[in-house]
Chain A
Amino acid sequence: DVKVTQSSRYLVKRTGEKVFLECVQDMDHENMFWYRQDPGLGLRLIYFSYDVKMKEKGDIPEGYSVSREKKERFSLILESASTNQTSMYLCASSPILHGNMGGYTFGSGTRLTVV
């Protein structure tokens, strides 16, 4: 069964801490994404990567950074966690099909609470 695995299901961190969210996919997908999802705001793209060591800013990159050292792993870093970063974080991956973005496979999500 193909999978996108996020390292933590629930996480509680203190304001100012550096937070690492890890995501691993086993489908050899080129593209990987980090979203956050908040009630009423839908999915908001933070960063994405279409190749190893490549990264692109999404709609809301402020306060976040990413790392993709290997094709299967995409990490999201909160440099200094703040309470407004309390959210559900979703990692996804997708293939490139016929030159187009394929459908995403999402991880199970990490619910992060910053106190």
Chain B
Amino acid sequence: QKEVEQNSGPLSVPEGAIASLNCTYSDRGSQSFFWYRQYSGKSPELIMFIYSNGDKEDGRFTAQLNKASQYVSLLIRDSQPSDSATYLCASGAGVSGNTPLVFGKGTRLSVIA
């Protein structure tokens, strides 16, 4: 059973701090990784994706991938109260374009003003 594990939280950080969200995955063949943000009562929104080992930066967001450790993380710099949401991590099998992503259950982030 392919799994993606996330700490459910809540993770509380003060405004302006760095929030670090972590995710591990069980399928060593996974090739692509996605981070979604979901506000309460809304649908998930894709914010980052990463395919290669190392870091990928986009504005205040940095995704980090370590395939040897089967570990993905999302860093949010200068956290804002508007970043308060649930963050879902997902992995893609890399077997074919027809295999659904595997989602974690999400980590709830709370940014305290």
Contacts A106-B43, A109-B43; is A101 near B99 (CB within 8 Å)? yes
A45 within 8 A of B: yes
Interface window among A12-20, A72-80, A92-100? A92-100
Interface window among B57-65, B73-81, B101-109? B101-109
Q: Which of A98-115 contact B (CB under 8 A)?
A: 99-109
A106 touches B92 (CB 8 A): no
B105 touches A50 (CB 8 A): no
- Size range of the interface on B? 20 to 34
- Size range of the interface on A? 20 to 34
B31 touches A100 (CB 8 A): yes
Q: How far is the CB of A24 from chain B (nearest CB, A)?
A: 15
Contact with A along B18-55 (1 / 0, CB 8 A): 00000000000001101010000011111001000000
Which chain B residue has the least Cβ–Cβ distance from A97?
B97
Interface residues in chain B, defined as those with a beta carbon under 8 Å from any beta carbon in chain A = 31-32, 34, 36, 42-46, 49, 88, 90, 92-94, 96-101, 103-106
